[in-house]
Chains A and B, each alone.
Chain A
């Protein structure tokens, strides 16, 4: 079976479409590694960006003090500067003052590598957008819910976490899906700090095998599938968390 597939693509390469990743074990290995790193970047950065967004929106909704001002400044700063410059700032500038470890063969090894910096800056960048998203979600919850909770003896904090926040989360899904699609697309920027993600390995492959057009088309298709998958997953979560009587077309 696998042999047949390899033979098919090897034949195909003689006709001009040279997809080495499907018959060359080395290129296939590199490609799978790249796909793995891309998925890892999406999963980790997506997770942390949602945490940052939820935390930031909670702070902005509950308080007006210096904490809220710091979150506001963070959102403005990260939304209005380029992701790639942020990544360079973390990787080169902050990275230059980070302690350097020695690995087992005595070579210098930074404490935080390219992958970790990429996850950190992607999470902070996407997190800034998620703060706005969740905050808009909180704004979409009618005040009467909070007032009803307060009348029942909830403290403002309890009312926020038990009543407003769960509703706000459900109102945020459409915008959150959008942000996560943008995050999926943004993982390609990790290329710039040398993370061997999909675009990086594809560049290596087309440099060796001279099949630039084929590889570009392959990664374009893969990113379309990945963004589709992200939207599908979010829709599944949204459907699972749907409350009767809320949201458009709530058939349940």
Chain B
């Protein structure tokens, strides 16, 4: 088989695989939204002086940060119900949605650490200055410290998104029909082992051209927001 033939085959299957890649992007966007929202609460919880809030937040963060993504994914796929009933309405949870929820947990834990790190990176003198000016702890956090943290949190948040996107093909193992699963199906349909390398290279390129600009931009922003 010539190179041009291989290329023609790859191009022919590309729309099929790109539709799968769309699911990867959808899962990653949903998971980063859920994870960021949850992680904000966990991160602020970690900073709480109330032991009843701080200890569980720290425990959850460490638990979900140190567990393999695949194990958390298995938890959500096997232990979540296939459908939920809310007031007589039954909503079917397709496996890609359950996988998305599975990805949200490690994202939340990682974001929790980003929040905690950013808040701790603000010099302690600012807390003392705010206290001297009569600000309460809450007002200091929300009106002085957190606004400065946002720009510092953006680069690691973007790295986290890139990491999440490259984790989404794991859902293939639990039967979600995303880009990797579709590539495998396409290779089997062509029944030609010479197509294995071009097809998988095309898939790698797809992920690379989506993720690489994100990581580049993150690095540029890090340089701009740098506080050193």
Contacts of B204 in A (CB 8 A): 77, 81, 85-86, 89
Residue of B nearest to A125 (CB): B166
Chain A hits for B207, CB < 8 A? 80-82, 85
Within 8 A of A (CB), among B159-199: 162, 166-170, 172-173, 180, 184, 187, 193, 196-197, 199
| Contact of B85 with A by CB under 8 A | no
> CA of A88 to CA of B185 in the docked complex: distance in angstroms?
13
Whether A93 contacts B167 by the Cβ 8 Å rule is: no
Residue numbers in B under 8 Å from A216 (CB-CB):
71, 74-75, 78-79
Given A85-B200, A93-B200, are A80 and B66 also a contact pair (CB < 8 Å)? no
**B70 interfacial contact with A, CB 8 Å:** yes
Residue numbers in B under 8 Å from A44 (CB-CB): none
- Contact residues on B (Cβ < 8 Å of other chain), bracket: 35 or more
B180→A81 contact, CB < 8 A: no
Complex CA–CA separation, A212 to B80 (angstroms): 12
Closest A residue to B197 using CB positions: A93
Q: Is the CB of B166 within 8 A of A219?
A: no
Contact A85 B63 (CB under 8 A): no
Q: Does B103 contact A (CB under 8 A)?
A: no
A51 at the interface (CB under 8 A from B): no
A71-102 toward B: CB 8 Å interface, digit per residue (1/0)? 00000110111111110110011101100000
Known pairs A94-B197, A213-B79; A220 contacts B71 (CB<8 A): yes
Complex partner residue of A82 from B75, B79, B169, CB under 8 angstroms = B169
A87 to B215, CA, bound (A): 22
- Using CB atoms, name the residue of chain A closest to B212: A80
Once the chains are docked, how many angstroms separate the CA of A113 from the CA of B161? 33
Q: Is there contact, CB below 8 Å, between B173 and A220?
A: no
Q: How far is the CA of A214 from the CA of B38 in the complex (A)?
A: 26
A93–B196 touching, CB < 8 Å: yes
With A97-B197, A185-B67: A199-B162 Cβ-Cβ less than 8 Å: no
In the complex the two chains form, is B74's CB within 8 Å of A199's CB? yes
Specify which chain A residues have a CB less than 8 angstroms from the CB of B208 in the assembled complex: 76-77, 80-81
Q: Does A33 contact B (CB under 8 A)?
A: no
Q: Which residues of B contact A89 (CB under 8 A)?
A: 197, 200-201, 203-204
Q: How far is the CA of A219 from the CA of B70 in the complex (A)?
A: 11
Contact between A189 and B74 (Cβ–Cβ < 8 Å)?
A: no
Chain B residues with CB under 8 Å of A94's CB are: 197
Q: In the complex, A223 Cα to B71 Cα: how many Å?
A: 9
Whole-angstrom CA separation of A107 from B35 in the bound complex:
49
Chain A: which residue is nearest B187 at the CB level? A92
Among A82, A86, A96, contact of B167 (Cβ-Cβ < 8 Å): A82
**Is the Cβ of A76 less than 8 Å from the Cβ of B212?**
yes
Beyond A81-B211, A86-B204, A191-B173, 19 additional contacts (C-beta under 8 Å) are A80-B208, A81-B208, A82-B166, A84-B169, A84-B172, A85-B169, A85-B200, A88-B184, A89-B201, A93-B199, A93-B201, A96-B197, A181-B66, A185-B68, A191-B70, A199-B68, A199-B70, A216-B74, A216-B79
Can you pick out 11 interface pairs between chain A and chain B where the beta carbons lie within 8 Å of each other? A76-B208, A82-B169, A85-B200, A86-B204, A93-B197, A96-B196, A186-B68, A189-B170, A199-B68, A219-B71, A223-B68
Give 7 closest A-B pairs by Cβ, nearest first: A185-B68, A82-B166, A80-B211, A93-B196, A188-B70, A89-B200, A188-B68
